[in-house]
Amino acid sequence: MMPLLLASTSRYRRELLDRLRVPFRVARPEVDETPLPGENPAGLARRLAQAKAAAIAAQHPEAWVIGADQVAEVAGQPVGKPGNRDAALAQLTAMSGQAIRFHTSICLQREQGPILLAEDVTTVRFRALGVEEIARYVDLEQPFDCAGSFKSEGLGISLFEAIESRDPTALVGLPLIELARLLREAGFALP
């Protein structure tokens, strides 16, 4: 079995990758996630997924490495993880009644060899949200480590009118349909 590393410390990505039942280890990529001047959200997600995979592949040349990144986009601008309650309240207030796009990119690579890429775009349509329900949601779920200030796999689903995606796991941060395809292409045995 070829060694597989997930270049992410996200527990959400780790839990998703566990579903594929392929043995893997986790490694923390040290990558500057600051957007480049003029970089659009899709380009930022793609660049960061590749940078994370490349950073870990350089340290583990024998392994295949999965790099992933997700960038939320509101009116063409990237939206990051809020980090605290006030920022989460502000993000959800701004997204009330809006359609938000989530760009999720994955990169599978070895230090020497092919670089396999895939991307997913998921659109989340928020219902009109009241100030009190936003505060109640943020206090209950504390989504401070999630781009867009919600957890779709938890109570955050109650904030939406609709989710439009080819892959329901993409919104959580790791599109498993595309990742399974890339892993098969790299020679991993999957159903």
Pick from 152, 148, 149, 147: nearest CA to 139: 149
pLDDT score recorded for residue 5: 97
End-to-end CA distance of the chain: 15
* Environment class of 113 (CB within 10 Å of its CB; exposed 0-12, middle 13-18, buried 19+): exposed
The 3-state DSSP class for residue 32 equals: coil
Question: Which residue out of 18, 32, 69, 86 is catalytically annotated?
Answer: 69
pLDDT score recorded for residue 78: 85
What count of Cα atoms within 13 Å lies in the side-chain half-sphere of residue 148?
A: 28
pLDDT score recorded for residue 75: 82
Under a CB-based contact definition with an 8 Å cutoff, are residues 190 and 183 in contact?
yes
Instruction: Give me the phi and psi of 9, to 5 degrees please.
Output: -105, 10
pLDDT score recorded for residue 18: 96
pLDDT score recorded for residue 59: 95
pLDDT score recorded for residue 2: 83
Identity of the amino acid at 6 = L
pLDDT score recorded for residue 145: 87
pTM: 0.89
Is 145 catalytic? The answer is: no
pLDDT score recorded for residue 29: 95
Q: pLDDT by residue (tens digit) across 29-84?
A: 999 998 899 899 999 999 999 999 999 999 999 999 999 999 999 888 888 889 99
What is the C-alpha to C-alpha distance for residues 115 and 109, in angstroms, rounded to an integer?
A: 5
Under a CB-based contact definition with an 8 Å cutoff, are residues 69 and 9 in contact?
no
Pick from 77, 84, 174: nearest CA to 122: 174
Q: What is the dihedral of CA 164, 167, 168, 172, to 10 degrees?
A: -110
pLDDT score recorded for residue 79: 85
pLDDT score recorded for residue 147: 83
**What parts of the chain have a pLDDT lower than 50?**
none
Domain architecture of the chain: domains with CATH: 4-185 (3.90.950.10)
The C-alpha angle with vertex 16 and arms to 13 and 20, in degrees rounded to 5, equals 130
What is the C-alpha to C-alpha distance for residues 77 and 152, in angstroms, rounded to an integer?
A: 21
